[in-house]
């Protein structure tokens, strides 16, 4: 297991990897730094749930998880309590811990919280944004426009850095950390789903609109754009999940 205190960056696959501070290739921008969230056991179980390696409704047995991760039972119990607090795990009397399905209701809960958090972070950023911040956002936006979703993995990294630039210096570290957690959840799910042409266009339009609001020193305008942006992202993920479910149902019917 990696040292949780070490600096980490996001790989193209969306996983956290221990690395020294690097640059975003071609733009000369620092690599993203993930906040320290908890023990390696917690992070491993959480990633298994998000990725689907531990399926929905699976029972989480402390002794089995401890053996799998080569640790004692106490770190596993602590990890499960933390995951329960984040909504990944459900605990019921006499039945123990089970994985909560990452379904449309789960995604709705996440993005409805983000619609409250991200506009507040953005509103504060407008008041402290420097010319260097704006130049950095413009460089990231220009690179996303140039790619035009031809490289979805790189687009995701650029998009994350775009938002990270606005939020990273906020004084409320709990809010920033919650944004990171939710961003990781949505990214892990959305990377398995297609992005419609309409959503691609909306993302680029929102980035330009928030840039314009920041340059105009319009905190309320920037916050409104980000609220629209987050809600659109959440709704798109839910729509794609429903579409995938319908497609799978049709395939099962055709085989029967």
pLDDT digits (tens, 9 = 90+) for 74-109: 999 999 998 998 888 999 888 889 998 888 898 999
Q: Domains of the chain by range and CATH?
A: 40-99 (1.10.10.10), 104-252 (1.20.120.530)
Do 76 and 69 touch, CB atoms closer than 8 A? yes
Q: What is the pLDDT of residues 109-120, one digit of tens each?
A: 999 999 999 999
Q: Is the pLDDT of residue 203 over 90?
A: yes
Long-range contacts of 70-79 (CB under 8 A, 24+ apart): 71/41, 75/39, 75/41, 75/42, 76/41, 76/45, 78/39, 78/42, 79/38, 79/39, 79/41, 79/42, 79/45, 79/46
Average pLDDT on 163-168 reads 96
Cα separations (Å) of 93 from 25, 98, 169? Answer: 51, 11, 42
Which of the four pLDDT bands, split at 50, 70 and 90, describes residue 6? very low
């Amino acid at each position: 297991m990696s040292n949780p205190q070490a600096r980490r960056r996001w790989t193209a696959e969306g996983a956290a990897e221990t690395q020294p501070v690097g640059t975003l290739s071609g733009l000369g921008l620092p690599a993203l730094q993930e906040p320290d969230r908890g023990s390696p056991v917690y992070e491993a179980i959480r990633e298994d749930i998000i990725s689907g390696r531990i399926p929905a409704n699976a029972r989480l047995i402390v002794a089995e998880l401890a053996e799998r991760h080569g640790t004692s039972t106490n770190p596993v119990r602590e990890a499960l309590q933390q995951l329960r607090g984040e909504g990944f795990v459900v605990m019921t009397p006499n039945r123990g811990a089970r994985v909560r399905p990452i379904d449309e209701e789960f995604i709705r809960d996440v993005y409805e919280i983000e619609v409250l958090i991200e506009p507040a972070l953005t509103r504060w950023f407008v008041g402290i944004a420097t010319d260097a911040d704006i130049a950095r956002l413009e460089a990231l936006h220009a690179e996303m426009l140039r790619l035009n979703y031809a490289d979805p993995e790189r687009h995701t990294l650029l998009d994350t850095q775009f938002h990270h630039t606005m939020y990273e210096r906020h004084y409320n570290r709990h809010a920033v950390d919650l944004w990171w957690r939710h961003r990781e959840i949505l990214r892990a799910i959305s990377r398995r789903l297609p992005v419609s042409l309409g959503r691609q266009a909306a993302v680029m339009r929102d980035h330009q609109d928030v840039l314009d609001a920041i340059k105009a020193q319009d905190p309320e305008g920037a916050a409104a754009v980000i609220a629209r942006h987050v809600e659109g992202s959440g709704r798109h993920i839910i729509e794609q999940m429903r579409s995938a479910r319908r497609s799978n149902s049709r395939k099962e019917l055709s085989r029967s």
